[in-house]
A and B are shown apart, each in its own frame.
Chain A
Amino acid sequence: GAVVSQHPSWVICKSGTSVKIECRSLDFQATTMFWYRQFPKQSLMLMATSNEGSKATYEQGVEKDKFLINHASLTLSTLTVTSAHPEDSSFYICRADNRGYFGRNEQFFGPGTRLTVL
């Protein structure tokens, strides 16, 4: 079945640095990818919708200049956390959808990236 990968799976960085997270659809093309953030003991919160070849759509309260999204190809979206601070420490998960068998859509979550900002 279709697989979505994320890299890195975990990262530790110093406050003030930038971190890039990649999300790849491995055997299908995804015109739309989604980025979620999950804090401990909380649910997934959608940060932004990444559209191939155009600007991302950010959810209310998410700073677009801090969380840069680039969907450069149909199989790759990147999320860059700029000037990261400890409050950005979280579990970042991407999602991509694909049309599966019998015309049913299928959705695939990446394995997630654990970001820890010291």
Chain B
Amino acid sequence: QKEVEQNSGPLSVPEGAIASLNCTYSDRGSQSFFWYRQYSGKSPELIMFIYSNGDKEDGRFTAQLNKASQYVSLLIRDSQPSDSATYLCAVAGYAGGTSYGKLTFGQGTILTVHP
């Protein structure tokens, strides 16, 4: 079983719709959860991080965390063509000090937003 799994893509949504991206993780000791966006040929760009159960909203993005179910999701409202990218879920086990330590990435979900 993979440590971090994302729903298999690619995911295609029309412009203006809600895109839903899902991620499950196997390590119950995980404490920090991240969503990245990666455009082709570029390095990952952090979109959201979440530490506590529940929802966290930032603009059009909402991250949801359920530690009991070991599940984290990302919702993108009012999807735009510029949101088309690969979305990576990452999990870390340490939320203190000056480093998050080892990040374990999921395999990524390709999102396409069509006009």
Q: Do A and B bind each other?
A: yes
- Nearest-neighbour CB distance to chain A for B46, whole angstroms, equals 7
- A106–B42 Cα gap in the complex (Å)? 19
Number of A-B residue pairs with CB-CB distance less than 8 Å in the complex they form: 50
- A99–B46 Cα gap in the complex (Å)? 16
- A91–B44 Cα gap in the complex (Å)? 12
Count chain A residues whose beta carbon lies closer than 8 angstroms to a beta carbon of B. Answer: 22
- A92–B34 Cα gap in the complex (Å)? 20
Tell me if A109 and B43 are in contact (CB < 8 A): yes
Confirm or deny: A97 has a beta carbon within 8 angstroms of a beta carbon on chain B.
Answer: yes
Q: Mark B28-50, 1 if CB is under 8 A from A, else 0.
A: 00000010000001111110000
Chain A hits for B102, CB < 8 A: 34, 46, 49
B103's contact among A31, A46, A111, by CB below 8 Å, is which?
A: A46
Smallest CB gap from A4: residue in B:
B43
Smallest CB gap from B98: residue in A:
A99
Confirm or deny: B63 has a beta carbon within 8 angstroms of a beta carbon on chain A.
Answer: no
| A contact residues vs B (CB 8 Å cutoff) | 31-32, 34, 42-46, 49, 91, 93, 95, 97-99, 105, 107, 109-112, 114
